Amino acid sequence: MNWIGSDYQLLKQAINHSVLNQKVISHNLSNIDTPNFKAKQAVFEQTLQSEMRLKLQDGRPSDSTQSTVVDRAGGAMRSDGNNVDLDYEMSELARNQLQYEAMMEQLNRRLGGLKSVIRGGR
């Protein structure tokens, strides 16, 4: 049951981050023509790294790992004050989709293993 308490929590939090990231990217794309709009990004990787260190030390992550949405630094500012870059957003969208699919596949595989154990290997 250790997997349910630790790896599952991290995987669940990473999937939740991916869902939030999808929303942020979609929001950026929907505001591509909005004057003075500043692109946002969801930040989770640094938090995940610190949680992984805690897991190695304590054997379990905290339940409070959260994604945060911040203004994205950098990027070319257009004359209307908007810094949304269509190519960047589309590549982030594709990267996020691949990560989400990989995490869901891993979750399904692990839950399938638990299901097999519950059924007695049948």
* Between residues 48 and 36, the one the model is more confident about: 36
Q: What is the mean pLDDT of the chain?
A: 83
The predicted model scores a pTM of 0.76
3 state SS of 71? strand
Q: What is the pLDDT of residues 54-100, one digit of tens each?
A: 666 665 555 556 788 898 887 788 999 999 999 999 999 999 999 99
Nearest to 18 by CA among 90, 100, 73: 100
Tally of CA atoms within 13 A in the half-sphere of 102 that contains its CB: 8
pLDDT confidence of residue 15: 92
pLDDT confidence of residue 1: 44
Dihedral angle sign, alpha carbons of residues 54, 58, 61, 63:
negative
3 state SS of 46? helix
**AA identity, residue 30:** S
Nearest to 5 by CA among 66, 64, 60, 53: 60
Nearest to 41 by CA among 67, 16, 14: 67
Tell me the two tokens of residue 85.
Answer: 């870059």
Nearest to 66 by CA among 11, 101, 100, 16: 16
pLDDT confidence of residue 16: 92
Task: Give the Cα separation of 114 and 119 in Å (integer).
Answer: 9
Tell me the two tokens of residue 42.
Answer: 């969801």
